[in-house]
Amino acid sequence: MTAPPSPQTDDEAQALLLFDGVCTLCNQFVNVVLDADSSGYFLLGALQSEEAQPYLESFGVDPDALDSVVLIEKGRLYTHSTAALRVCRRLDAPWPLLSVFLAVPRPVRDFVYDIIAEHRYDWFGTRDECRLPTPDVRARFLEDPA
């Protein structure tokens, strides 16, 4: 695996996807990414991790104020529905089909996204701790639990 992308570069080889490590729905999304990202384009990390903090701070983002997945791609930061749909666009079929929703105005997309985000713990549950990568996918994560 290549080195983590710098949030201030236009690295096209890899993007960084940060997710809520205690959210069951978010962890299911990560499972989809791991299964459908055959090119290894996405490096993953929990928003709550120490390793994610420098990336967020470089964009002036308060990690404690986030309620969204975060995608750092080609030197830009994306959140909410835009982040999720841009991720889908880079995955193996059939996931790129969802990127057609990028044509929907962002306020409409984010309204739906925010409803799901607001209720995600009640509807899908939480984990007691952030996801620890298994040895076979460890290189795809920012965190090194070893």
Q: pLDDT tens string for the chain (146 positions)?
A: 334 445 444 556 889 999 887 777 788 888 899 999 999 999 999 888 888 889 998 998 887 777 788 999 999 999 999 999 999 999 999 999 999 999 999 999 999 888 887 777 677 666 665 555 667 778 888 865 44
- Output the pTM of the full model: 0.81
d(CA 56, CA 36): 25
Distance of CA 5 to the CA centre of its chain: 14
d(CA 92, CA 120): 25
d(CA 42, CA 50): 19
Token pair recorded at residue 120: 């995600």
d(CA 130, CA 11): 27
Q: Which amino acid is at 68?
A: S
